[in-house]
Amino acid sequence: MEENNLKKHNVVYPDYDNCIINLISTILRTYGVVPDYNSLKQIDIEDIKTRKNIVLMIFDGYGFNLLKRYSKSSSSFLAQHLVDKITSVYPSTTTSAITSIKTCKTPLEHGALGWTMFFKEYYKFIDFLPNWDSITGKVLDHSKYKTYDKMQFKNIFEMIHCSEPNVELYNVYAKYLANHPYSSAVCDPSRIISFRKTKQLFKRIERLIKKKSNNRKFIMTYSSNPDALEHKNGTNSKVVEDFIRIIDFEIEKLTKKLVGTNTLIIVTSDHGLIDIEKYHYTNEDKELYDCIFLPTIPEPRFLSFFVKKHKLDKFKEAIKKYEDKFLILSREELLKKELLGIGKMHYKTDDLLGDFVGIAISNHAMKSIAEQNGKWEKEFLAHHCGLTEDEMYVPLIMINV
């Protein structure tokens, strides 16, 4: 039954020899760092070692299938420089994937498994990246709720700086992210440069590359779009296509301006998105809801079920109705499949994995509703964190300047 479902929905598992972590491993090796994971076979390390400047541009939610959809129109320049498709990590969500990019660790190892995480230290459900109280939506005082400190991330910029202290390290972030505690945790000791509008992002890169220096430079940039636009408008919307057209045009223009600077521009994403057909709510399924003792976290397409021990059999029966849309695995089965990666399990991973997990393999999503909040007036039209092609494949684009 499970294998038939996987084939039916074209399920894609993370490939930890051909994923975003392997891309980071490749870059690290050019700076003398020896990471735990293999390099990408598609990239000639000896060649990029000769590059004075490496620019890694991450556009959140710019999945491989989204690129291909607009390859002859709005993504024509980037499509011309497409090297291959690689996979995201799992969970295929920003919290996990960006943390993997910034640490060169699997989600199993770094513990940031999704949007909403339970911190037993504070007895709170916390939306991890913005550091919000998950129920009230209020920003938490980081001096009291030291969520990122507790994760103890060691980021790739620390690794590069230790190996080659003269390499100039930069992160180019949107203004609202630049001073955020998470940014510091995963970017120090690099210098964070902020931008307000998308077009300013490319001007910041140009200025950093042309800044006179004999040192090598590694510049990582991050844009929360098209992800944010896809969530609200769907993957096929005009506003998403317009954004893709803008970045395609701006990267082509930037490439021309950087001619002769010995720069390699790499463009990729953390994950893709899929349009959602239907949301299920655990609290509306009385049979299922009665079997669990915590709300489902961390994501609507990756759910951890904490099951009452004396109702285990009832849960197994109640969850069957969702098996065509979600891959239902016991905790042991999930770890055996190594979907979260290999390596030493982070203590927070251990905390967040329930007795069973539900992983979306279709265009459905599921979530628990807190009574004091109620349902959203309008759910996201597109989402991520499943195992579909749309979510799991991201582009590997390389432009030599």
Q: What confidence category does residue 10 fall into, taking pLDDT thresholds of 50, 70 and 90?
A: confident
Q: What confidence category does residue 9 fall into, taking pLDDT thresholds of 50, 70 and 90?
A: low
In b/e form, how buried is each residue of 294-308, taking b as 16+ CB within 10 angstroms? ebbbbbbbbbbbbbe
Between 226 and 374, the more confident residue is 226
Same fold, 2-274+388-400 and 278-381: no
The whole model's pTM is what? 0.96
Give how far the C-alpha of residue 337 lies from the chain's centroid of Cα atoms, to the nearest Å.
20
Q: What is the mean pLDDT of residues 361-389?
A: 96
Query: pLDDT for 310-340, tens place per residue?
Result: 999 999 999 999 999 999 999 999 999 999 9
Q: For the packed helices 198-210 and 238-257, what is the interaxial angle rounded to 10 degrees?
A: 20
- Nearest-angstrom CA–CA distance, 296 and 97: 20
Given a cut of 70, whether residue 363 has pLDDT beyond it is: yes
Q: Where are the domains of the chain?
A: 2-274+388-400, 278-381
Between 300 and 8, the more confident residue is 300
Q: What confidence category does residue 2 fall into, taking pLDDT thresholds of 50, 70 and 90?
A: low
Q: What is the mean pLDDT of residues 261-274?
A: 98
Given a cut of 60, whether residue 1 has pLDDT beyond it is: no
Q: What is the mean pLDDT of residues 169-179?
A: 95
Q: What is the mean pLDDT of residues 56-83?
A: 97
Query: pLDDT for 201-227, tens place per residue?
Result: 999 999 999 999 999 999 999 999 999
Given a cut of 90, whether residue 63 has pLDDT beyond it is: yes
- Nearest-angstrom CA–CA distance, 20 and 37: 11
CATH class assigned to 278-381: alpha beta
CATH class assigned to 2-274+388-400: alpha beta
- Nearest-angstrom CA–CA distance, 280 and 244: 31
- Nearest-angstrom CA–CA distance, 199 and 134: 33
Q: What is the mean pLDDT of residues 273-301?
A: 97
Given a cut of 60, whether residue 374 has pLDDT beyond it is: yes
Query: pLDDT for 108-140, tens place per residue?
Result: 999 999 999 999 999 999 999 999 999 999 999
Q: What is the mean pLDDT of residues 69-88?
A: 96
- Name every residue whose Cβ is closer than 8 Å to that of residue 33 and which is 6 or more positions away in sequence: 156, 159, 160, 162, 163
Q: What is the mean pLDDT of residues 7-31?
A: 93
Q: What is the pLDDT of residue 8?
A: 64
Q: What is the pLDDT of residue 24?
A: 98
Residue 32's region, left for phi above 0, alpha for psi from -120 to 50, else beta, is left
